[in-house]
Structure 1
Amino acid sequence: MLNRVVLVGRLTKDPDLRYTPSGVAVANFTLAVNRPFSNQQGEREADFINCVVWRRPAENLANYMKKGSMVGVDGRVQTRSFDNQEGNRVFITEIVADSVQFLETKGATSGGQSGGQGSQGYNNPNQNQQNPSQNQNQNNSNNNNNQDPFKDSGEPIDISDDDLPF
């Protein structure tokens, strides 16, 4: 049996982070996922899919992603039911995420930059800070190393069939 879901979409609102009485983090969120086709009027429609993620990935999602952020979800479909206050049986279908991948950096908007930070990822503001002379030296060394090693020098390449992966 197989129960696997992979989704890529945008958060419809900020994730709702809560903690169980035993202190386990849980975040509920809704993902807007575009359908791969247009309707008869030529407009793209979307599905709004309820998701839940637990523990550390829940805290990371709530801390680093917000409404409109693009994320990837890998998980499974789960259905459950309960009796509401009026005594009616309520059925819920949701995606229980095993992992949530951040497909944009924290400050990016829908048309902004993408960073692919991963479920534990965030943009460390100190990671790329160097003084200007280091940046200049780094840029100069990058220019020297940007020569294409695969550039055609006009000589034949000697490769045996045993070296090919197919």
Structure 2
Amino acid sequence: MRQEELQLLVESISLQWFEKPFRHKVMFNSRLRTTGGRYLLHTHNIELNETYYKEHGIDELIGIIKHELCHYHLHLEGKGYKHRDADFRELLKIVDAPRFCKPLISKKRQQLSIKYMYACVNCKQAYMRKRKLDTNKYMCGRCKGKIKLVKSIDEL
């Protein structure tokens, strides 16, 4: 999707669902990793994560746009625009916007790269790691007990 198409999409969603114009810029930001989008308070612009559009499609992108437009319109009106505010939660329900994004498929693949499982000898606290850990150097963060290797993917 090109920049102009994205701008027109956001402007049309704003008029359709909020009955108010969107007068600022919207753009894809490739640096966003953990969020679907963000509303910038100082410039009133909206940045969106293009990965959500590529992995989940236009419906997920529209949901994220609605969510960010809730922040946008409430902030400009001087109402509660933060996630914990009642005004924000109420507007989310009215426009049928999601409170959270779906998890990214590419993020799930990163989580699968866990290769080592450690556990505390005393309290049985589990620790999942991508890299090997020196058990003589580290101890349990909960009870200060000794940590031992339980399972290694390399052994399987």
TM-score category of the 2 structures, normalised to the smaller one: under 0.3
Higher percent of residues as helix: 2
Larger gyration radius, structure 1 or structure 2:
1
Q: TM-score, normalised by structure 1?
A: 0.22
Higher percent of residues as strand: 1
